[in-house]
Amino acid sequence: MSSAISIGTTGLTASSKQMDVIGNNLANSNTLGFKAGNTYFASMLNQSLTGGSSGAMQVGQGVAVAAVSTQFAQGSFETTGNATDLAIDGDGFFILRDEEGAVYYSRAGAFHINEAGYLVDLNDYKVQGYNLFSSDTDEMSDISLKNVQSAPRASTEIAFGLNLNDSDVAGEVFNASQSVFDSKGEVHSLTSRFMKTEANGMWGLDVRLDDGLYSTGQIASGFKFDENGALTKMYTADIGTPTVTTAGDGTATATINHLGQMYKDTTSPITLTRGANATTWTLTDKGGYTNAIVYSASADAVTIDLDGVGGADITFNLADTWAQNDTIAFSINQTEIDTTNITLTFGALANGATIGDTSSGSNQILWNLTDTTSNRITGYASSSVIKSLSDNGYSSGVLKSLSMKDDGIISGFFTNGQTATLGQIILADFPNPSGLQKVGNYFGQTVASGEAIKNEPGAGGLGSIMSNTLEVSNTDVAKEFINMITAQRAYQASSRVITTADQMLTELMNIKR
């Protein structure tokens, strides 16, 4: 009879512990990343009343709590709109480190940047991962966004798309200004000056930086439009002196390799053919008509010295106007070789010219026109206007906002419009997550859990990162209320066992009366 009272007491104890677990689950139903516990019971040792081959007669000695396990089922997600609020969709834990260096694991991803520039949780524990912006090591450490800035980039290339008014008379000027940056991020004004040189669609161009900040001087270029406003020819140049070398078979080849040494018609190869008296030469293209396609960037003549002709010089006198039908005449001094023809072979000329910015040492800017095949450069009889303009330079910038990708990559957006990869969050998982020890809202590694397995989100079976999202508690409130009723009934039943056993003992005591 006394055993019944003892057994009932074990039931009361077990049910009380179950209620503790249920109460903790319900109390944390709104705790971020909380994982509910579940109570498991086991029978205590049985007392054998009799033995024998037919089977032992045994009476149990009550109940005990065998284990309280953590349920790692995925909790529901809550959208926050904060980029540093993170949730794990799948398996894994965030890795955090406290001030003493102890490492903990958590599913709660309510992070922010603290005053020291570290990515931390609500208890100022530092999130672990890789610092990709300020470090080139692959060692995991505290993710730091301190003093993250976007360095300035000097402008090295700009591009235009424009319309030049075909109805303008010769001498009309259209100026287009563009902000460019030096290596310190300081802004300068680059002005492109388009001048109508002929009434039949010919335009000239010069480009310069403000305050005379250029090293190669003023560059010139030209455009030719047809009656429909479509660009038909483009000329690029900067004055220079090509070198021509003659061969023993009476031919000489001149190769122009440097940007802008001479203007070149971009539509066809060029050949110099000998005139009737071998003293006058005419420049034509393969179309068979004479076309002035060679210009210098100044009014000075370009002189080409030919070696290997007995010390004689051949001088090319270039036209100093933008006229279409000029000829290139050059005189041949004494020579001992029968020069039958001379071919000029032009190297690949870039669509642009280089302007140096002496204010920053050796900053160079390549001025380019956009693709002519898509009608970016036109000569319609409408107002001259810039249709598109791009510049690859920018000033310095400070960190404005962050974004987190599903693979844990942290991207920074800066005030100068640039984007950079700043770091990557690393996750951890365990061979036996149920063996982890709860430390408040964190988990600690134990022998039962096994060693942490660390990897990038989405790799090795780990879940992916969800930004602007938090994982809430996985407590099932309805289920907990059902468990509460069950625990209450079990407690009541154990109490009744005790009271009934007490009454029976009382009746036994009354027999003596």
Q: How far apart are CA 37 and CA 17, in angstroms?
A: 12
Report the pLDDT value the prediction gives residue 203, as an integer from 0 to 100.
79
What is the enclosing helix (H) or strand (E) of 7?
helix 2-27
Give me the domains of the chain, ranges plus CATH numbers: 2-72+474-510 (no CATH), 77-151+398-471 (no CATH), 152-395 (2.60.98.20)
What is the enclosing helix (H) or strand (E) of 378?
strand 377-378
- CA nearest neighbour of 91 among 461, 498, 497, 481: 461
Report the pLDDT value the prediction gives residue 51, as an integer from 0 to 100.
58
Q: Is 418 helix (H, G, I), strand (E, B) or coil?
A: coil
Q: Is 279 helix (H, G, I), strand (E, B) or coil?
A: coil
The beta strands (E) that lie in 415-472 are given as: 419-425, 427-429, 437-439, 442-444, 453-455, 464-467, 469-471
| Count of other CB atoms within 10 angstroms of residue 424 | 20
Taking only the tens place, the pLDDT of each residue in 408-451 is 999 999 999 999 999 999 999 999 999 999 999 999 999 999 99
Contact criterion met (CB below 8 Å) for 140 and 454: yes
Report the pLDDT value the prediction gives residue 45, as an integer from 0 to 100.
72
What is the enclosing helix (H) or strand (E) of 63?
strand 63-70
Report the pLDDT value the prediction gives residue 104, as an integer from 0 to 100.
98
Q: What is the mean pLDDT of each run of 10 residues along the chain (513 residues)?
A: 86 96 96 96 74 66 92 95 96 97 97 96 96 76 91 81 84 84 82 77 72 41 69 54 39 36 35 36 36 36 39 40 44 40 35 44 51 64 81 88 95 93 96 95 96 96 97 96 96 94 87 73
Q: Is 169 helix (H, G, I), strand (E, B) or coil?
A: coil
Q: Is 9 helix (H, G, I), strand (E, B) or coil?
A: helix
Fill in the DSSP letter of residue 371.
Answer: P
Report the pLDDT value the prediction gives residue 135, as an integer from 0 to 100.
62
Q: Distance of CA 153 to CAs 182, 187, 393, Å?
A: 7, 11, 5
Residue position matching structure tokens 């393969």: 286
Find the Cα–Cα–Cα–Cα dihedral 196, 199, 200, 203, rounded to 10°: -10
What does the block give as tokens for 410? 């942290």
Q: How far apart are CA 207 and CA 354, in angstroms?
A: 10
Identity of the amino acid at 176: A
Taking only the tens place, the pLDDT of each residue in 15-71 is 999 999 999 999 999 999 999 999 999 988 766 656 555 666 777 789 999 999 999
Ramachandran area for residue 465 (φ above 0: left; ψ -120 to 50: alpha; else beta): beta
Separation of first and last alpha carbons in the chain: 20
Contact criterion met (CB below 8 Å) for 403 and 411: yes
Report the pLDDT value the prediction gives residue 221, as an integer from 0 to 100.
56
Q: Distance of CA 354 to CAs 20, 260, 386, Å?
A: 78, 9, 21
What does the block give as tokens for 72? 């790692």
Identity of the amino acid at 207: V
Report the pLDDT value the prediction gives residue 335, as an integer from 0 to 100.
40
Report the pLDDT value the prediction gives residue 455, as an integer from 0 to 100.
96
Q: Are strands 243-246 and 306-307 parallel, antiparallel or unpaired?
A: parallel
Contact criterion met (CB below 8 Å) for 317 and 294: no
Q: How far apart are CA 17 and CA 162, in angstroms?
A: 80
